[in-house]
Amino acid sequence: DGGITQSPKYLFRKEGQNVTLSCEQNLNHDAMYWYRQDPGQGLRLIYYSQIVNDFQKGDIAEGYSVSREKKESFPLTVTSAQKNPTAFYLCATRYLSTGKDEAFFGQGTRLTVV
Amino acid sequence: GIQVEQSPPDLILQEGANSTLRCNFSDSVNNLQWFHQNPWGQLINLFYIPSGTKQNGRLSATTVATERYSLLYISSSQTTDSGVYFCAVEPGAGSYQLTFGKGTKLSVIP
């Protein structure tokens, strides 16, 4: 969506390195999410945050870390503990109000381990 | 957690044909959305439809919450409709998590 910016679009990581994926939004949405997508698969939730300075683990949080220091930003760090990080990573945001809590997605970051 | 099943997993259509995609979910939901993922990976919002029926051009969707399913109808399909269609649900108010199905891959051929 136009109000959600993910960067970089492509990222290459060497074995053993940590990398950080950026997600910024100007929609004033409350919640932000990180999903992982493997080829031919659906989206799996890594982490999500409803408010600043608070976040919760999703289904596949191991090997990842996040922070939410500002409402607009929710960076994801893929650590060396993540054994199979090659995937497509998608950031989403939602405005948490009944009837208006539609989720929108950024354009994604493709991470490849080399 | 809630289970989301989409069918069929793959669908090939001749241009101009109609189709129905189905999403079944295992528990009551507070939020249900349909998305189209284009060949570049971008997820496009199609419908926000926790209940009822909506239409947008050649696409329409119906969610019967009491029977735990949603249907996405595509009429007069075009090659640009190709891609993967995902259903995502939020299981109950306050969970804030969207759980995705595995998608239906649609290929529309000229």
Given an 8 Å threshold on Cβ–Cβ distance, is B100 in contact with A44?
yes
* Residue of chain A minimizing CA distance to B39: A107
pLDDT score recorded for residue A2? 55
- Interface probe with B: pick from A6, A37, A47, A98, most Cβ of B within 10 Å: A37
Query: Tokens 């100007």 belong to which residue?
Result: A26
Query: Tokens 């990398």 belong to which residue?
Result: A19
pLDDT score recorded for residue A63? 96
**DSSP class of residue A73?**
B
Paired tokens of A107: 């354009």
Angle (nearest 5°) at CA A37 between A33 and A43: 60
Ordered per-residue pLDDT tens for chain A, 114 residues: 459 999 999 999 898 899 999 999 999 999 999 999 998 888 999 999 999 999 999 999 999 999 999 999 999 999 988 889 999 999 999 988 767 788 999 999 999 998
Quick one: A71 exposed, middle or buried, by C-beta within 10 A (0-12, 13-18, 19+)?
A: middle
Burial letters B44-79, b for 16+ CB under 10 A, else e: eebbbbbeeeeeeeebbbbbebeebbbbbebeebee
Paired tokens of A101: 């809590």
- pLDDT one-digit tens code per residue, B51-106: 999 999 999 999 999 999 999 999 999 999 999 999 999 987 677 888 999 999 99
Q: What CA–CA distance (Å, rounded) separates B88 from B23? A: 9
- Over residues B39-47, mean pLDDT: 93
Paired tokens of A72: 């607009």
Q: What CA–CA distance (Å, rounded) separates A15 from B54? A: 48
- pLDDT one-digit tens code per residue, B75-84: 999 999 999 9
Q: Give the other-Cβ count within 10 Å of B30's Cβ.
A: 16
Closest CB to B45 among A37, A44, A104: A104
